[in-house]
Structure 1
Amino acid sequence: MSEVTVVIPTWRRASWLGRCLAAVLAQEPRPQEVVVVGRAEDLDAQEVVRRAARTPGAVPVRWLEVDRPGHIAPIEVGLRATATPLIAFLDDDAEPEPGWLGALVSAFSDPQVACVGGRVITPGLRGKVHPDAGRVRWYGKHIGNIGALEAHGPLELDGVMEGNWAWRMDALRNLRLDLIFEDGDATMYGLDLCLQAKALGWRVIYEPRARVVHHIAPRDPTLDRADLTARTFAYSRNMTYIGLKHFRGFRRAIWLGWWWLVGDSGSRGPVRAIGGALRRNGRPIGLLLTELSGKVEGVRWWKKARP
């Protein structure tokens, strides 16, 4: 197995981090190093890392600090600290199953593979999983919830989940973490990175054997997923930006019509919103203004980012 560093961003969730670290350190084969990235004031998490580092025979475990909010900052810290050919990112409230790491990095035997994402099992979650999860349809709709997809073997896709994935450093260093994703929990930044990689000729793989159990932990209040208005605005903005950035020609034209008039369940257009209101199901009709405002903001970001 190629050498791999496991990076775990954390935020005031020491008990979850302890469970995650114990499962990572029990992996066979083992990572070259584990890097935990958190805040200076998170003393409980630092103590968890010190205890893990003292485990007899354990791989090196380091604590690094980040001084700005958001989801992207700890990722950048982890990237700068990594010297191995592969880097894996893992949420601190995830618990890898035995064999997770070996399965996650196995696809990198193909030199064209840039990214591999694994299975995420969330106890009690009963979301719908489409057979084409992880793909972008011809008219631009991204099908999410890939981490819940049960598959018989590896699949080549357009995007995978960020909380359980690994990258080839030679590929990731040539990609860009755009400023738009600095806001909040960086909604859909993973899809943007995967599409960047594919545009350069790399492959993105889903490996269902690389399984983690997601024990949902409390979040930073500034990243609260219960804040429907803020999350809807961020998703609408970011997906608009991604579509304009990655689609060209006829596909962009088709996507624009669908995205602005119909949209998906996370960011509707007026046709979908009015239809839901008439059927008396779905999101509140009043949220449509937030969805459209987010899309307008995404256009502004795209215009600013163009060379």
Structure 2
Amino acid sequence: MRTHTMPATTITVLVPSHRRPRELRRCLSQVVGQLAEGDELLVVHRDGDEETSAAAAGAWADTVLVPVTESGVWVALAAGVRAARCDVVAFLDDDAIPMDGWLDAIRRHMRDPSTGAVGGPILNFRGVRTSNSFFSGERVTWATRSSRLHSRLHQLPAHRRVDEVDFLPGSNMAVRRPLLDLDRHPMINMAPSWEWRVGLDVKRRGFRIVYDSDIKVEHHPAPRELSRTDQERIARDVGYSMVAIAGTGLRGTRRFQSLAWWMLMGSRESPGLLLAPAAVLAGRTSPRAWRGALHGRVLGLASACRTRGRV
């Protein structure tokens, strides 16, 4: 591994938000007390969303507000990264609550110049905590030879874990700002698994990705029913993201294996060409979702072809 000379001193906490002022105020109230001199609190909001901008300004007078005109979390994250001025960017959802010591723990890890990204588990709550399973001994995250993602990022280890991993959860992850270039390979809307893309970039440049189970956030997602349109969009976005990531972030045999897996098999939420017919017949997905999954894969292949050789 190369020698690094990039010790971090300041952190930008980046929170994208849209029309959830109550959740945003709760999130920011837990962030403000952890900020140190030189740190930055940055909230990305849709242009014209006065509720969000008022909630952010009310939580802390020095909040930096970044308006965007397009929809989608990926657009918001890219705009926030462009506006960030600190050494490290820490990503946080507006419905997440960082635990005490969250920012200090990130800062301690980033004092190691070989660390490019650091994060920890996300504890899901829906009234009560739903991340209530524990694990011991297994790897925290990895990508298999076929590049299926495996993670225990929503579970707790039986004992404190500090491990080097392949990727981190996007809503509890801090990355050195020079390693972030979200404009290079634009994603669609929610961009599922964008954190894997970021992880590949960080590792490709010779830096470590560290998981620390003490860097915890509580996640309080609002309950929602997915319509058929939502399912089609998710199937498209997952299909696009995974094919685009594999096609641009992997090389040689791994690229071929990964693309073959995602084109033919895929996942439950975005089935591939072989898995989709069985999923439709079994009622696990709809023809519309299958159509979205195929559409996303075609877009992902086109994106990979356009950007090949530039990663």
What TM-score, normalized by structure 2, do the two folds share? Answer: 0.82
- 5, 20, 24: which is aligned to 1:17? 24
Q: State the distance in 1 between where 2:288 and 2:184 align.
A: 30
Q: Match for residue 215 of structure 1?
A: 220
Distance 1:153 1:214 in 2: 20
Give the deviation of 1:28 after TM superposition: 7.0
- Asked if the contact 1:195/1:246 (under 8 Å) is kept, the reply is yes
Q: Name 1:57's counterpart in structure 2.
A: none
Is the Cα–Cα contact under 8 Å of residues 243 and 263 in structure 2 kept in the other structure?
no
Q: Is the 8 A contact 2:132 2:156 kept in 1?
A: no
Confirm or deny that 1:156 pairs with 2:164: yes
In structure 1, what is the Cα distance between the partners aligned to 2:265 and 2:201? Answer: 26
Structure 1 Cα separation of the partners of residues 155 and 107 of structure 2 = 19
Letter in 1 for 2:39: Q
CA distance in 2, matches of 1:136, 1:149: 18
Sort the Cα spacing of 1:268 and 1:68 in 2 relative to 1 into closer, same or farther, 3 A.
Answer: closer
Q: Does the CA contact (< 8 Å) of 1:155 and 1:205 recur in 2?
A: yes
State how far apart, in whole Å, the 1-side matches of 2:120 and 2:31 are.
Answer: 15
Contact residue 228 and residue 289 of structure 2 kept, 8 A: no
Q: Distance in 2 between matches of 1:295 and 1:192?
A: 16
Quick one: which amino acid aligns to residue 177 of structure 1? Answer: D
Distance 1:52 1:39, change over 3 A: same
Change (3 A) 1:196 1:44: same
State the identity as a percent: 27
Matches within 5 A, 1:1-307: 2-27=9-34, 32-54=39-61, 60-124=62-126, 125=130, 131-144=138-151, 146-151=152-157, 152-172=160-180, 175-181=181-187, 183-217=188-222, 227-274=230-277, 276=279, 280=282, 282-284=284-286, 287-306=289-308
1:286 positional shift: 6.6
1:201 Cα offset (Å) = 0.9
Higher normalized helix content (fraction of residues): 1
C-alpha distance 164-226 of structure 1, shift in aligned 2 (>3 A): farther
Q: Distance in 2 between matches of 1:184 and 1:165?
A: 19
Distance (whole Å) between structure 2 residues aligned to residue 126 and residue 149 of structure 1: 5
Offset of residue 75 of structure 1: 2.4
Tell me, yes or no, if the aligned pair for 1:133 and 1:149 is still in contact at 8 Å.
Answer: no
Q: 1:112 & 1:187 partners in 2: Cα distance?
A: 27
Conserved? CA contact 2:271–2:279, under 8 Å: no
The 1:286/1:10 distance shift into structure 2, 3 A limit, reads closer
Whether contact under 8 Å (1:132, 1:143) holds in the other structure is: no
- RMSD of aligned C-alpha atoms? 3.1
Q: Distance in 2 between matches of 1:170 and 1:214?
A: 28
Q: Cα–Cα, structure 1 residues 80 and 247, in superposed 2: closer, same or farther, change >3 Å?
A: closer
Deviations 1:2-53 (A, max 9, x none): 2212121111111111101111112276772212221332222222233223
Structure 1 9/260 Cα, relative in aligned 2: closer, same or farther at 3 Å?
closer
Q: Which runs of 5+ in 2 are unaligned?
A: 1-7
Distance 1:34 1:176, change over 3 A: closer
Whole-Å Cα distance in 1 between the matches of residues 134 and 234 of structure 2? 21
Letter in 1 for 2:297: K
Segment of structure 1 superposing worse, 185-194 or 196-205: 185-194
Alignment partners' CA distance in 2, 1:212 and 1:275: 37
* DSSP-derived class of the 1:161 partner: coil
Structure 1 unaligned regions, length at least 5: 55-59
1:155–1:265 distance in 2 versus 1, CA, 3 Å: farther
SS at match of 2:121: strand
Aligned length: 295
* Greater mean deviation of Cα atoms: 81-90 or 7-16: 81-90
For 2:13 and 2:288, how far apart are their aligned partners in 1?
43
User: Match for 2:214: what amino acid?
Assistant: R
Letter of the 1:11 counterpart:
H
Asked if 2 retains the 8 angstrom alpha-carbon contact of 1:38 and 1:74, the reply is yes
